[in-house]
Amino acid sequence: MYRVVYRRELNPTVTMMDIEAPLVARRAEPGQFIILRVDEEGERIPLTVAGFDREAGTVRIIFQVVGATTEKLNRKREGEYISDFAGPLGVPTELEGLKRVCIVGGGVGCAIALPIARALHERGVSVTSIIGFRSSELVILEDEFRAVSDELILMTDDGSYGRAGNVCLPLSELFSAGERFDKVITIGPLIMMKFVTEATRPTGIPCVVSMNPIMIDGTGMCGGCRLTLNVGGERVTKFACVDGPDFNGYEVDFDEAMLRGGMYRDFERHAYESTCNLFKKEAR
């Protein structure tokens, strides 16, 4: 059992938790993920490591309530426990040899981007962060990004906070102004990462994307997280859980990934509604 030692709601649908998991905290690195179960009867879900404190033995997760399991997880309070917390899994983000990096995060993907930005900042790397949200009430982690970025650009789709527009707008402006980075790292919705990759492609700057599709076992055995890459004119299958989650954005078949990512949307919505109805009945 793993104790929830800290809990904070970042916006109406996104929650931050610190979980007491000393063995995971000891080895966790930016870019890796864990797989948890809320209870013994629950499903396994992957969540990226949003931070860790090796001394305290805690691992930070940030999640959006989108399905039955995240709804159950969101109802856990400080001092309560979850059943399983396995990790760290996946390959850590490559941070060596970099001097100037642009981090592009979208929505709850910013929770994954933040520990990478922080690790780069601690290494003395110049970090430009571009983070985007649909509206002002959904903005998360602004102060945290500002603390680890040499430049922070905040965008909202509706212009209610920061600049109006999507994250590709300031990214393209930076490229047009002659800015050069050793690497662009983008994390967020698949469609956002696709367009960030295409905006970066003409520059030839390496573009890394974090792929977080459906995962079940986290060991590459189930095949649920398989991706198709176009490598040297050949289509190659990789698995996000063991080969990633970071990949060369120029090689990812985003259209296929988005098609597969939508396969379980109706099922997830049904499970979420059933769970909410169950909690309502228990509250009566």
d(CA 142, CA 200): 24
Same domain, yes or no: 198 and 236? no
Per-residue pLDDT at 213 exceeds 80:
no
Q: What are residue 84's phi and psi, to 5 degrees? A: -130, 145
189 and 116 within one domain:
yes
Q: How far apart are the first and last CA of the chain?
A: 29
Per-residue pLDDT averaged across 154-182, rounded?
96
In sequence order, which residues have a C-beta less than 8 Å from that of residue 123 and are 6 or more positions away?
A: 95, 98
The last residue of one of the domains, among 89, 104, 120, is: 89
* Confidence category of residue 264, pLDDT binned at 50, 70, 90: low
Per-residue pLDDT, 92: 94
Q: What is the pLDDT of residues 53-112, one digit of tens each?
A: 999 999 999 999 988 889 999 999 999 999 999 989 999 999 999 999 999 999 999 998
CA distance 233 to 171: 28
SS3 116: helix
For the question of whether the overall pTM of this predicted structure is more than 0.75, the answer is yes
Assigned domain for 101 exists: yes
Q: What is the CATH number of the domain that holds 35?
A: 2.40.30.10
- Say which residue the tokens 């992957």 belong to: 46
Instruction: Please indicate, yes or no, whether residues 140 and 122 belong to a single structural domain of this protein.
Output: yes
| pLDDT grade for 275, boundaries at 50, 70 and 90 | very low
Identify whether residues 107 and 23 lie together within a single domain. no
Those residues whose C-beta lies under 8 Å from the C-beta of residue 142, and which sit 6 or more positions away, are 131, 152, 154
Assess contact for 165 and 155: CB atoms under 8 A: yes
Please tell me the predicted confidence (pLDDT) of residue 57: 97
**Sign of the dihedral defined by the CA atoms of residues 146, 149, 151, 152, in that order:** negative
Mean pLDDT (whole number) for 199-228 = 83
Structural domain contains residue 42: yes
Give the least confident one: 32-36, 128-132, 210-214: 210-214
106 and 148 belong to one structural domain: yes
Shared domain for 188 and 205, answered yes or no, is yes
Element (H, E) at 25: helix 22-27
